[in-house]
Amino acid sequence: MRHNMTKILTALGLALALAAPVQAEDVRIGWTAWSDAEFVTKLAERVLEDRMDQDVELVQTDIAPQYQGVASGDIDVMLMSWLPGTHSDYMDKVGADIVDLGILYGYARLGWAVPTYIPESELSSIEDLKKDNVREQLDGTITGIDPGAGLTRLSKEAIEEYGLDDYELQISSGAGMTAALERAVNRDEWIVVTGWSPHWKFGAYDLRYLEDPKGVLGSYERVHALAREGFYQENPEAALFLARMHLDLDELQAAMFQAQETSYEEAVDEFIANNGDLIDYWVTGKMD
């Protein structure tokens, strides 16, 4: 009798599940508070929710746990994988357990940047940091970002490779780095910051990258969307949207600068309003 009742309840539960309305798939997007990642992630969130009726949860975490979260399936996607060099160590560890959805934008790069009011005759290359007068002007400091960033790892390698033993890489955050840059610019002080493009600071300040003759900080990078295994099979609409999503670097950088002047939400609104055909293609895969 108990066995029969269990079969009846199981069948009833299955019938109710099949009869229930299908709910939009949830998408958990991991992100780190870097300016490009914030704009791209919030743009994807808006399109997924407003155009595709998807429920989106943003999971803010450092970059290393983000890769681990996608590999383990705790996070569905991340939109900030810098390849082939910057995040190579993370991909070496978990790349076999992650699905690459494609390139979000290209011509990204890393480097050490300085305000253009610093004379190029005195400081144009990382090699110039060895000069006594340059080191004194900079107080032996390179202003960096978060400890887990690929740029931080490469910057430590650059200090070693160029023999900059008298310098300290000041670990901070993206926000801390830009705050230090703003203070220095307002006072016309010398500063070297670890930088990357795209970034809104290149729209806010007149900056240039230092030459990197040894190529320690790498060349052009591309930024990829990564997904957990099985995500495409469970939510092909969202996966294909993210696979089609691609941004022009200059337009992205302009939107990031606007986000600093207003907010990321307003910058996303304006981008969507000005790029209707592009958004339509991302969503539907069709071009008029």
Predicted confidence at residue 221, as pLDDT, reads 94
Pairwise CA distance, residues 160 & 157, whole Å: 5
Predicted confidence at residue 67, as pLDDT, reads 98
Burial string for 13-37 (b: 16+ CB within 10 Å, else e) reads: eeeeeeeeeeeebebbbbbbebbbb
pLDDT at 36 over 70: yes
Helix boundaries (H) for 20-162: 35-52, 63-72, 88-94, 132-138, 150-161
244 in Cβ contact with 180 (< 8 Å): no
- Identify the bridge partners of residue 81 per DSSP, sorted by sequence position: 224
Instruction: Return the higher-pLDDT residue of 165 and 34.
Output: 165
Predicted confidence at residue 15, as pLDDT, reads 38
Instruction: Return the higher-pLDDT residue of 33 and 247.
Output: 247
Mean pLDDT of 88-108: 96
* Domains of the chain as residue ranges with CATH: 24-107+221-284 (3.40.190.10), 109-209 (3.40.190.100)
Pairwise CA distance, residues 17 & 11, whole Å: 10
58 in Cβ contact with 65 (< 8 Å): no
Predicted confidence at residue 116, as pLDDT, reads 98
Helix boundaries (H) for 95-204: 132-138, 150-161, 174-186, 201-204
Predicted confidence at residue 125, as pLDDT, reads 98
Convert the pLDDT of each residue in 153-200 to its tens digit: 999 999 999 999 999 999 999 999 999 999 999 999 999 999 999 999
Convert the pLDDT of each residue in 52-78 to its tens digit: 999 999 999 999 999 999 999 999 999
Convert the pLDDT of each residue in 1-16 to its tens digit: 434 433 333 334 333 3
pLDDT at 121 over 80: yes
